[in-house]
Amino acid sequence: MTNLPQATARLDAALAGLAVTFRGMTAHPDEYNCVCHWGSAEEPALLKTPDVELAPDLLRRTWETTDWDHQALVLRRILPQCARALVSGHLPSDDAGRYIALGEWRQWPASQVHLAEAVEQWEYDLLVDELPWENWEYQRTDEERCIELTAWLLRHASPRLRVHGVPEERLQRIRLFGVPVPTRWDDPHWPYQADD
């Protein structure tokens, strides 16, 4: 059973680390969106100003909008505050993967990609060739998105995670993302029993 004070302390530390990692981020100086997303003239300035807390309504509108010209910069600007809002239940968590995917996280600097935790959360879905979040991007299918994500992880995840001392078993599971079915099921590192 998880020790609640320890889990809370780890969560607080993770949120604090996120704030440090993304300190100083801003939306692109030329970022623009319609008035229904920006609201008053002061609101765009807040997104273009680092480390200023956004009002809950502006945070929600910014989080839910997916047609920014520079989506990755907008996401990195709001990510620490959004993470706190997700944890507290002030933002819906069911679309978090989609918003982060639209934010082009695979192109972020290595210090800003929280890769080990993502792989751990996504492992089961990727081992059964499913996208670990709901795909609302109609230009590409779930299968295409899953293939793209898996290919990126196969190329980049293991070298980055190995440097940070991730256990070999996790690296072997990443390798399994690229092993075709049914060969993957017979691999000694397959984590599930046949009746799972």
Please state whether the predicted TM-score (pTM) of the whole model is above 0.75: no
The more confidently predicted of residues 24 and 107 is 24
pLDDT tens-place string over residues 162-188: 877 888 998 999 999 999 999 999 999
Distance separating alpha carbons of residues 183 and 185, to the nearest angstrom: 5
Are 171 and 161 a contacting pair, CB within 8 Å? yes
Confidence band, pLDDT 50/70/90 cuts, at residue 136: low
Give the CA distances from residue 9 to residues 17, 85, 124, in Å, rounded to whole numbers and listed in that order: 12, 17, 26
pLDDT tens-place string over residues 63-103: 888 788 888 899 889 999 998 998 888 888 777 777 777 77
Flag the least confident range among 12-16, 45-49, 170-174: 12-16
Arithmetic mean of pLDDT over the chain: 83
Nearest to 99 by CA among 70, 62, 66: 66
